[in-house]
């Protein structure tokens, strides 16, 4: 086995593993965003596979396919990210939905000291206008 064919086998194995991992994340991904990220990566892997095939068979026939895939991969991400709803929040250990926006942490309490809320005014709901 020559060095060239060894490198081609290496590339093919790596790409196969990458697409299998992405496929696993698409099937198992807990939220729709994970599935979207994984399918984006699967598409990138497909473009790379098309490029590897062009080098292997020494032709340039599928460059238009690469151009189309590179330019239209964005539409899926944007349309899904646009319609991610508040029900898609990940659940915590007790099965409750986590609050929207950032959670109150030690150095970022829910209502900061620099921004005192008015009395009787409930804390603002996180993640309103973004």
Residue of the chain from 1, 27, 115, 119 that contacts another protein (CB under 8 A): 115
* Burial class, 98, CB count within 10 angstroms (exposed 0-12 / middle 13-18 / buried 19+): exposed
91 binds another protein, rule: CB under 8 A: no
Alpha carbon distance 113, 91 (integer Å): 29
31 binds another protein, rule: CB under 8 A: yes
* Burial class, 112, CB count within 10 angstroms (exposed 0-12 / middle 13-18 / buried 19+): exposed
DSSP 111: S
Q: 63-82 vs 32-57: helix axis angle to the nearest 10?
A: 180
User: Taking CB under 8 A as the criterion, which residues in 49-78 touch another protein?
Assistant: 51-52, 54-55, 58, 60, 63, 66-67, 70-71, 73-74, 77-78
- The binding site for another protein (CB under 8 A) comprises 3-4, 7-8, 10-12, 14-15, 17-22, 24-25, 31, 33-34, 36-38, 40-41, 44-45, 47-48, 51-52, 54-55, 58, 60, 63, 66-67, 70-71, 73-74, 77-78, 80-82, 84, 86, 88-90, 98-103, 105, 108, 112, 115, 121, 124-130
């Amino acid at each position: 086995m020559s060095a060239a064919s060894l490198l081609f086998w290496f590339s093919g194995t790596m790409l196969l593993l990458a697409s299998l991992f992405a496929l696993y994340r698409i099937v198992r991904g807990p939220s729709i965003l994970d599935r979207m990220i994984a399918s984006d990566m699967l598409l990138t892997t497909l473009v790379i596979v098309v490029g590897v095939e062009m080098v292997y068979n020494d032709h340039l026939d599928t460059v238009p396919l690469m151009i189309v895939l590179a330019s239209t991969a964005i539409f899926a991400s944007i349309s899904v990210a646009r319609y991610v709803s508040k029900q898609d929040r990940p659940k915590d250990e007790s099965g409750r939905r986590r609050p929207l926006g950032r959670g109150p942490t030690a150095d970022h309490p829910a209502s900061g000291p620099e921004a005192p809320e008015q009395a009787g005014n409930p804390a603002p709901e996180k993640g309103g206008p973004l």
